[in-house]
């Protein structure tokens, strides 16, 4: 899962847009974005943030700078625990040539101090959009941990895992029809990167356009 391998596999799969959402870190986003520019694949900068409720929330941003500002905020809110590589694996940082440039020593696979509402608010201030991740799963999802989707953040999107489909998700949770429903590959291995499953009608191919689309409320527009 190096920057070039991710982008080139995505290109082989026919994807025009991908997002990099490492757990509680944006340390590898810049390198993947550079590779994407060279290969003609749009890379939307993002993170997968674990809130204080142990809920996973995706955050997408219109620019790398805004994403890195969120990264700094999340880093400050994380417990200072050392990563145990023998259990969780190494947390490498690579450049656009797939060269090792460092590692993150703090544990990334853990909950931070910010609540789901706080994460959403900070992302919105930075011009980003937040999406409750894999809401159909029995762990680390807003529905499994809280039992509902909080209204205060004003979520416009939710994500379902690739092991379910939109119709099944809506039959199980009818209120999901009020949201954009994203279906992501959530790939941790190259082979898990999915072929195109959804399309977005955008005025231009840019991270700003993607984020703007996802912020739009579901009512009255075509689903993705």
- End-to-end Cα distance, the chain: 27
Q: Which pLDDT tens digits describe the chain residue by residue (224 residues)?
A: 999 999 999 999 999 999 999 999 999 999 999 999 999 999 999 999 999 999 999 999 999 999 999 999 999 999 999 999 999 999 999 999 999 999 999 999 999 999 999 999 999 999 999 999 999 999 999 999 999 999 999 999 999 998 898 999 999 999 999 999 999 999 999 999 999 988 898 999 999 999 999 999 764 344 55
Sketch out the chain's domains with CATH numbers: 3-215 (3.20.20.140)
| CB-facing half-sphere around the CA of 125: CA atoms within 13 A | 9
Q: The pTM is what?
A: 0.95
| CB-facing half-sphere around the CA of 89: CA atoms within 13 A | 6
Distance CA 137, CA 160 (A): 8
> DSSP string spanning 74-105?
HHHHS---B--HHHH---EEE-TTS-EEEE--
Q: Which residue has the tokens 């590692």?
A: 103
Q: How far is CA 85 from CA 36, 67, 103, 128, 156, in A?
A: 29, 26, 11, 32, 37
Distance CA 67, CA 47 (A): 8
Residues in the chain: 224
Q: Nearest Cα to 50, choosing from 143, 126, 144, 113?
A: 113
pLDDT of residue 163: 85
Q: Phi-psi bin for 24: left (phi > 0), alpha (psi -120 to 50), beta?
A: left
């Amino acid at each position: 899962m190096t920057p070039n391998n991710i982008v080139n596999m995505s290109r082989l799969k026919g994807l025009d847009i991908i997002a990099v959402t490492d757990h509680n870190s944006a340390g590898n986003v810049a390198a993947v974005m550079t590779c994407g520019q060279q290969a003609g694949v749009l890379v939307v900068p993002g993170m997968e943030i674990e809130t204080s409720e142990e809920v996973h929330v995706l955050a997408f941003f219109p620019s790398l700078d805004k994403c890195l500002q969120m990264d700094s905020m999340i880093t400050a809110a994380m417990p200072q625990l050392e990563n145990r590589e023998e259990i969780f694996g190494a947390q490498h940082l690579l450049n656009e040539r797939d060269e090792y440039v460092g590692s993150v020593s703090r544990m990334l696979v853990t909950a931070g101090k910010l609540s789901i509402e706080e994460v959403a608010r900070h992302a919105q201030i930075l011009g980003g959009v937040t999406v409750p991740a894999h809401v159909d799963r029995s762990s680390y999802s807003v529905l499994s941990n809280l039992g509902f989707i909080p209204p205060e953040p004003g979520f416009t999107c939710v994500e379902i895992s690739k092991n379910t489909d939109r119709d099944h998700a809506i039959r199980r949770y009818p209120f999901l029809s009020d949201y954009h429903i994203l279906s992501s590959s959530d790939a941790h291995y190259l082979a898990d990167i999915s072929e195109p499953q959804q399309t977005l009608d955008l005025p231009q191919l840019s991270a700003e356009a993607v984020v703007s689309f996802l912020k739009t409320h579901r009512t009255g527009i075509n689903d993705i």
